Structure formats: structure tokens, C-alpha cells
Amino acid sequence: MLQTRRMKIAALLSALFALLVCASPTFAQTSAVSSPEDRQRFVSVVQNLERAPLDPGLQSDRRWAIQWLTDAPDVSVAVCADPIGGVSEKGYVHNPEIVVQYMLGMAAFVIENPSKSNDPDALQLAGVESALNAYRSMRVAQPNDRSPKLDELLGMKSRGELPGFVRKAFLRCLAKKR
């Protein structure tokens, strides 16, 4: 039963990943009103997922956060795989979780830093850093599951090169859209 549930979750995340990549960059937005309580819960979920992205007990929170972001009219993010190293579904077993964390991390940044909500460089960097935090946690939980692309991004971060890379990668993504 647990294996079936994991397969369903993996399928859901894979479908979300495919949707995000095919529609990049996209903007999550509909007509619901976001309450301060929901915003606070959202940020808490994002932080918990950074610390324990593979915790099965957080799967329902991840689904809630994705749905909340989809419905929130006052929080939107531009999603593109390029700033997170162009991760592909086949390259690393946890790429769907990484892409979702990138998206959620940007939204949490918007909530915590409303004055920077129109700064695409800051948003993209916050999303990538959130994804990298989750990746570090994944490596602790499963040391043999590694992503060369995400390891490369961690190296860029340690050398102070990540902001420039993320900016250029997002600009390339926007250029593809035109």
C-alpha cells in the first residue's frame, strides 16, 4: 500500500514537472483570496520542505502548497527549469520535488519580501536557493542519490557565482518564450 501511494505521488509530481517545463515560464494565478493565515502556513510548509523534502508526512502539505499557489491571486511566480540547471525528469530521481521546491521557494520569497515581488532576479535566486536547500537535505537522507547539475549549482553558490548564473539562465528562458 505504501509503495502504491509513493507511485501515485511520484506520478503526480512527474505530471506537475512536465506541466511546468512545457509551460515555462508560466504564471500561477486564479481568483481565490489569500488570507494572512494561509500565507503564514504556506511559508511554514516551504521551510519544512526545505528541511525534510522526502518526509512522507509532508506530502499532503506539498500538495496543499501547490494548490494554494495555483489559486492565490496575489502571489505569482515565473517558472523555468534553466535557473535550476535545466534539470530533467530522467536525470535525477527527485527532480520533480526540486522543481516544485524552486516554485514554492519563489512564492515564499514574495510573501516574505513584498517590496521585491517585481524583482525577477531576486525571485529566481530565492527559488533556486530553496531548491538547493532541499537538495542538501535530500543528500543527507539519501547520500547516494546525487544530481551533477545540482552539485554544480552548489559549487557556484559557494564561489558566489550563483546570482549571475541564475540571472542569465532566466533571461535565456524568457528569450525562448518570445
Of 150 and 86, the one with more pLDDT: 150
State residue 177's pLDDT score.
79
Of 101 and 178, the one with more pLDDT: 101
Verdict on whether the full-model pTM lies above 0.85? no
Domain boundaries, the chain: 2-177
Render pLDDT for 16-64 as a digit per residue (tens, 0 to 9).
443 343 333 433 444 446 899 999 999 999 999 999 999 999 999 999 9
CA-to-CA dists, residue 50 to 24, 85, 140, angstroms: 23, 18, 12
Render pLDDT for 111-137 as a digit per residue (tens, 0 to 9).
999 999 999 999 999 999 999 999 999
